[in-house]
Amino acid sequence: MGRFDDRVAVITGASRGIGLAIAQRLVDEGARVVITGRHQSGLDAALEQLGTDRASAVAGRADDAGHRQAVLDHVRERHGRLDHLVNNAGVNPIYGPMGEADLGAVRKMVDVNVIAAFEWTRDAVVAGLGSSVVNIASTSGLGASRGIAFYGVTKAALIGLTKQLAAEFAPAIRVNAVAPAVIKTAFARTLYEGREEEASARYPLKRLGEPEDVAGPVAFLLSDDAAWVTAQTIVIDGGASVGPAA
């Protein structure tokens, strides 16, 4: 018996990287998953890995209300239940000083990284969400972050949103978050590509994170093993928060 036998999960932004690793972990532990992403080709590749007997996909933008409704309709028609939601979809279209940030890009980050997570959670609860939510935040939301400053602002907002939603939806629904540091994904490539050894040096565990390093804690928070855990943000940073590596 797996921890997620007979459970159904929706994972947004799961065609690759952290989202796909979470989907794989849940499938490995017995879940059926519905993944989302902007591009059908990426979702098709993810389904080849996950297996169409345990996974299905709906393409669309995370901040599009029509897409969100299509996903929830698909879940109802295919599975008849929804137990878990992972708000993983996020964007960071700019890199550089926050004072030079394009306001259109700033608004897009707020729409996808914060408002969409709120709307996915609220609509999933209305659709009958039965157990738990995990939001994918970032250590950039815990302090100042050079180069990705406004992305960090949106992740700080997501951490605050996590606490508010946990308070409002308790006791029926638990809402938690994780805050990873740099994870080796295409999304974070700008932060380490060509200088991975240098980027890894500040971590006491002497390496960057892998998507699977995030998937495990997320699976814990979604599962009944975390039945008395809500409104929390687990930091996944290879020890960086305690200071530079010796």
Report the catalytic residues.
151
Alpha carbons 235 and 179: distance in angstroms, whole number:
5
Q: Among 23, 61, 17, 10, which Cα is nearest to 39's?
A: 61
Give me the torsion for CA of 36, 149, 118, 72, rounded to 10°.
Answer: 0
Rounded to the nearest angstrom, the gap between the alpha carbon of residue 112 and the centroid of all alpha carbons in its chain is 12
- For the stretch 62-67, contacts whose Cβ atoms lie closer than 8 Å and that sit 24 or more positions apart, written own/partner, are 62/12, 62/13, 62/36, 62/89, 62/112, 62/116, 62/120, 63/111, 63/112, 63/115, 63/116, 65/119, 67/36
Cβ proximity of 133 and 87 under 8 Å: yes
- Going by C-beta distance under 8 Å and a sequence separation of 6 or more, which residues neighbour residue 126? none
Is the peptide bond preceding residue 171 cis, with omega within 30 degrees of 0? yes
Both tokens of 152, joined, read 């960090």
